[in-house]
Structure 1
Amino acid sequence: MTATLLPPAVSQPSETELKTLFQTQQEWRWRAAQTGVAERQAVLRRLHDAIKAGRVALADAMALDLGKSRAESELTEIHPVLEELQFIIRRLPRWMTPRKIATPLMLAGAQSEVRFQARGVTLILSPWNYPVNLALSPLIASLAAGNTVILKPSEKAPHTSRALKELLEGVFEPRLVAVVEGDGAVAHTLTTLPFDHIFFTGSGAIGRKVMAAAAENLSSVTLELGGKSPALLHPSADLKTAAERVAWGKLLNAGQTCVAPDYVLLPTNMRDAFVLELDAVIARRYGDHAWQRAGPDYGRMVDTASVERLQKLTDGSVAQGARVALGGEFDPEARFISPTVVTGVMPEMPLMGEELFGPVLPVLTYDTFEDALALIRRLDPPLALYLFAEDEAAVEQVKHETTSGGMVVGGTVIHLINPHLPFGGVGSSGMGNYHGEHGFRTFSHERAILREPKPSPVRLMYPPYGRPLPRLTAWALRLLERQAGPRE
């Protein structure tokens, strides 16, 4: 069920105010960059304690914005952020330690190292679908790397945006971390400022605009986008397991997850049995129709427009020959879509034309496994690929013959939970990655440093090159040249 409460009033900051805030952080960025391990750990611990103290307020805000139950908010938003904080705090000393690098013979005596240096003033544009997790996870990485942060949460989750603002303003001064509320115009103005790095999570269409704006200042960017992530079933797949895990990944947060299975691709002769398994899973996990509306386990769409968009895509596909096998109820006023499975979907139908971002699951079939792989390759590279197969040769084939931001064999979505793995897209599903050390690196500049000794062999390469020493050096280097590996 969703509570009703008017969203908090938001005062749109002016361009002058945004520029002043940016300048404030620019003036502080070198002080932030020069902090040591202990100082950064203390900053992260303060944030950790504030999130623990404010977790109820955050969960209440997400219930208002998205109809999330307290349990789902804890499992998918608050607890993962606290775990990420603990993971980074424990490992930050090792990550910040300069790495000694080998030096080639021609630079004998020199010392080389790589130091991780803060990028500077960073901008995080976070989405509405996981409004706490996807705002705070990159913020944690940026602070760990020694940056200052301006966070612009999505205006589509206004209660959560306000809760984040109040939480972070209670922990940090705006010269280190500031939260800016407002609409898309505010976000656009921010992207025109010369940030040292911009981290954006959202749609590909907006991601392109962010990248274009960043290019004007040559700001580096990380784009966490989305796409149509397939759930691919091989003929050897366990249907019961596949249905259980596809249903969970698809219906989590009412399907509003960037890595949710967007469609299912399976052998023609397995379709009907798979739909029956899905029906049983949905009834077992989310209850009957009345309980889906009244109970705490199934969320709501973010707005009426999202419901209307998915209804239009579904109706358009049905008009072209698809069939609603399960669900099919769209209630824009209540922001409700029942768990919906559509069979007979073809690649050219409306449901396959864009990322769905909701609880509508198209089911496509294939005749041969090679046909399935060809379709996946023909579509844009997805943010995730989910494979269900008991045949190890098929698993290796998919690894070698497809690409995606991430891949899970035998499950969905859970690769996000592993902080040792990088999370990010490829091609149109995004660029760059984060989580754990990968986030620390994303928000750091890897600075190469070399110290040349006073008695240096480099002097053997100084001109004029007709002298014996440079000629002898060139001859010796040619003798040392070796070709490694096979020649054919």
Structure 2
Amino acid sequence: MGESVERFETIFKKQKMQSRIIAQTTIRQRIEKLRALEREILKQSKKIQEALLADLKKPVLETNFTEIFISLHEIRHTVKNLAKWMRPEKVRRTLLTATVRSEIRLEPKGVVLVISPWNFPINLSLTPLISAVAAGNCVILKPSEFSPNASQILAEIISAVFSEDEVAVVQGDKNIATRLLELPFDHIFFTGNSEIGKYVMKAAADHHASVTLELGGKSPVIVDATANLDDAAKKLAIGKFMNCGQACIAPDYILVQNEVHDQLLTKLIKMVHEFYGSNNEFQASSSFGRIINQRQFKRVQSLLEVAIDKGAIIECGGTTDEKECYISPTFLTNLHADSSILHEEIFGPVLPIIPFTDLKEAIEIVNDKPKPLVMYIFSQNKNNIEKVLNETHAGGTTVNDFGMNYLQFNLPFGGTGMSGFGSSHGLSGLRAFSHERAVAHHHRWSALKLFAPPYTKFKVFMTKMLIKYL
């Protein structure tokens, strides 16, 4: 379904008028809205499952966990902590401001735009929306046109809970998104690829709007010789092949120390067979999804074919079916350094495995690429873990597990450099949609009076003392 430009411009104007009223809502009122949203998500759970099956062939378990549960967890975590988060934060006095009482207050930004992707269309639409509502903003949500069934159920859920002058869903293609970005929003939260992220930033700059960008990238895995290989193989297989590899936090390539390369590969292949059956049973497995559409299928297929043409070896999988948008769980070794699959985000069920001799070599490989959204380290050696953490950069890192930096809602989740900036989840999400207002309360005695004109020799002397001692 597409929207007329006139309609969403009208919604935007209504929200601008309403935003001051919404900004004055109490914490209790905002919590009630979030609880109403929670009830509606639960009520529509079956339709959400059906929508994700239609759009992505997403298994029910994956929908329940990665879409429904994560959204509900964001609501429940926010409801539990909102009163504490919204409390003015006291700031310590300095010697210069010894008589001033200072605090930071969170206030809503106003009318915000959330542009969400197709890979987790419910979760990645609702989690930023929850933070925006908790902060007291009005919201326009633009879900992806590539997951139309999910977009439609989102529209139904939102309209059942909110009036459109507070929260509204606008559906449509990139032309609608482009026109939305021409409006003077107070904040834009975008999840997607880096090229579109650049366009979003440029559009935001025209209106001096703040931006949160979650862009993904090539998330590396480092497995050293001390790692628990059985544990690593299972967690990496789960993380890579959930949602058919279409996740911004999915492992994009594995760097594994030479001594354990063959063992890890064998265990990874074993795990995939345990999950999905033998090679010729992968496609029939009800636990394995599909690539979203033909365009994305051809992109991933091309990365795979180019890698093979340059000498890559298929250790497992490698089967494709264009009609079904199916690519089997695939492991590649013997990759040529120039292969595009080592330089572009894969966003599909293909996992390159690259050996390294020592940790320095692995770190250099990671640092030669743009800063990733997530890094994974598997090691039992604390010194090795610290070395990787100290000598690399990433939006977030999980050690000896998959995705825990995303699932821990007391941590900020976000990228750095080409993988984005700004954070979401919990308090970090609330702050993303809030202005931190600095407030200094006057005291009857103020040091400022000492520097009032006329500028006597004594007052000049006082400034010199400040420079010397403060």
Q: TM-score range by the shorter chain?
A: over 0.9
Residue 348 (structure 2) aligns with: 358
Residue 292 (structure 1) aligns with: 282
For the pair 1:52 / 2:39, whether they are aligned, the reply is: no
Residue 474 (structure 1) aligns with: 463
Residue 358 (structure 2) aligns with: 368
Residue 396 (structure 1) aligns with: 386
Contact 2:225 2:259 (C-alpha < 8 Å) held by counterparts: no
Distance in 1 (alpha carbons) for counterparts of 2:443 and 2:236: 60
Deviates more, 1:451-460 or 1:253-262: 451-460
| 1:18-37 to 2 correspondences below 5 Å | 18-37=8-27
Residue 413 (structure 1) aligns with: 403
Distance in 1 (alpha carbons) for counterparts of 2:453 and 2:129: 51
Distance in 1 (alpha carbons) for counterparts of 2:433 and 2:466: 39
- What are the ranges of 5 or more consecutive residues in structure 1 without an aligned counterpart? 1-9, 482-488
Distance in 2 (alpha carbons) for counterparts of 1:360 and 1:164: 30
Deviation at 1:472, TM superposition (A): 5.0
* The one of 95, 101, 108 aligned to 1:118: 108
Contact 1:108 1:456 (C-alpha < 8 Å) held by counterparts: no
Distance in 1 (alpha carbons) for counterparts of 2:79 and 2:318: 46
Distance in 1 (alpha carbons) for counterparts of 2:346 and 2:84: 41
Residue 89 (structure 2) aligns with: 99
TM-score, normalised by the number of residues in structure 1: 0.94
Distance in 1 (alpha carbons) for counterparts of 2:342 and 2:406: 25
Secondary structure class of the residue paired with 1:129: coil
How far does the alpha carbon of each residue in 1:159-192 deviate from its partner, in whole angstroms, 9 at most, with x for none? 0000000111011000110000000111111111
Distance in 2 (alpha carbons) for counterparts of 1:69 and 1:225: 25
Distance in 1 (alpha carbons) for counterparts of 2:97 and 2:211: 35
Residue 317 (structure 1) aligns with: 307
Residue 63 (structure 1) aligns with: 53
Residue 248 (structure 1) aligns with: 238
Residue 422 (structure 1) aligns with: 412
Secondary structure class of the residue paired with 1:424: coil
Distance in 2 (alpha carbons) for counterparts of 1:107 and 1:273: 62
Distance in 2 (alpha carbons) for counterparts of 1:269 and 1:107: 60
Secondary structure class of the residue paired with 1:105: coil
Specify the code of the residue in structure 2 equivalent to 1:208: K
Distance in 2 (alpha carbons) for counterparts of 1:40 and 1:335: 42
Distance in 2 (alpha carbons) for counterparts of 1:288 and 1:305: 28
Distance in 1 (alpha carbons) for counterparts of 2:281 and 2:57: 14
Secondary structure class of the residue paired with 1:114: strand
| 1:265-284 to 2 correspondences below 5 Å | 265-284=255-274
Distance in 2 (alpha carbons) for counterparts of 1:427 and 1:353: 16
Distance in 2 (alpha carbons) for counterparts of 1:230 and 1:107: 47
Distance in 2 (alpha carbons) for counterparts of 1:346 and 1:243: 24
Contact 2:413 2:423 (C-alpha < 8 Å) held by counterparts: yes
Specify the code of the residue in structure 2 equivalent to 1:131: P
Residue 337 (structure 2) aligns with: 347
Specify the code of the residue in structure 1 equivalent to 2:204: A
Specify the code of the residue in structure 2 equivalent to 1:46: A
Contact 2:316 2:329 (C-alpha < 8 Å) held by counterparts: yes
Distance in 2 (alpha carbons) for counterparts of 1:315 and 1:293: 19
Deviation at 1:29, TM superposition (A): 0.6
Distance in 2 (alpha carbons) for counterparts of 1:163 and 1:226: 26
For the pair 1:128 / 2:118, whether they are aligned, the reply is: yes
Deviation at 1:455, TM superposition (A): 3.5
Deviation at 1:295, TM superposition (A): 2.9
How far does the alpha carbon of each residue in 1:399-433 deviate from its partner, in whole angstroms, 9 at most, with x for none? 10000011111122232111111100000001001
Residue 218 (structure 1) aligns with: 208
Residue 197 (structure 1) aligns with: 187
* The one of 69, 74, 82 aligned to 1:84: 74
Distance in 1 (alpha carbons) for counterparts of 2:317 and 2:281: 14
* The one of 28, 31, 46 aligned to 1:38: 28
Q: Percent identity?
A: 38
Contact 1:328 1:337 (C-alpha < 8 Å) held by counterparts: yes
Contact 1:265 1:364 (C-alpha < 8 Å) held by counterparts: yes
Deviation at 1:465, TM superposition (A): 1.3
* The one of 159, 163, 166 aligned to 1:173: 163
Contact 1:106 1:458 (C-alpha < 8 Å) held by counterparts: no
Residue 65 (structure 2) aligns with: 75
Distance in 1 (alpha carbons) for counterparts of 2:91 and 2:405: 31
> How many corresponding residue pairs?
470
Contact 1:232 1:386 (C-alpha < 8 Å) held by counterparts: yes
Secondary structure class of the residue paired with 1:422: coil
Distance in 1 (alpha carbons) for counterparts of 2:98 and 2:220: 52
For the pair 1:305 / 2:303, whether they are aligned, the reply is: no
Contact 1:305 1:332 (C-alpha < 8 Å) held by counterparts: no
Deviation at 1:467, TM superposition (A): 5.0
Distance in 1 (alpha carbons) for counterparts of 2:131 and 2:406: 15
Secondary structure class of the residue paired with 1:385: strand
How far does the alpha carbon of each residue in 1:49-108 deviate from its partner, in whole angstroms, 9 at most, with x for none? 111111111111001101111111111110111111111001101111112222333334
For the pair 1:459 / 2:462, whether they are aligned, the reply is: no
Query: RMSD across aligned C-alpha pairs, in angstroms?
Result: 1.4
Distance in 1 (alpha carbons) for counterparts of 2:387 and 2:407: 25
Contact 2:313 2:332 (C-alpha < 8 Å) held by counterparts: yes
Distance in 2 (alpha carbons) for counterparts of 1:100 and 1:403: 32
Residue 7 (structure 1) aligns with: none
How far does the alpha carbon of each residue in 1:426-458 deviate from its partner, in whole angstroms, 9 at most, with x for none? 000010011011100111000011122344231
Specify the code of the residue in structure 2 equivalent to 1:95: W
Specify the code of the residue in structure 1 equivalent to 2:172: G
Change (3 A) 1:342 1:480: same
Deviation at 1:276, TM superposition (A): 1.2
Deviates more, 1:409-418 or 1:322-331: 409-418
For the pair 1:156 / 2:146, whether they are aligned, the reply is: yes
Residue 228 (structure 1) aligns with: 218
Secondary structure class of the residue paired with 2:454: coil
Contact 1:124 1:135 (C-alpha < 8 Å) held by counterparts: yes
Deviation at 1:19, TM superposition (A): 1.7
Deviation at 1:290, TM superposition (A): 4.9
Residue 207 (structure 1) aligns with: 197
Contact 2:52 2:58 (C-alpha < 8 Å) held by counterparts: yes
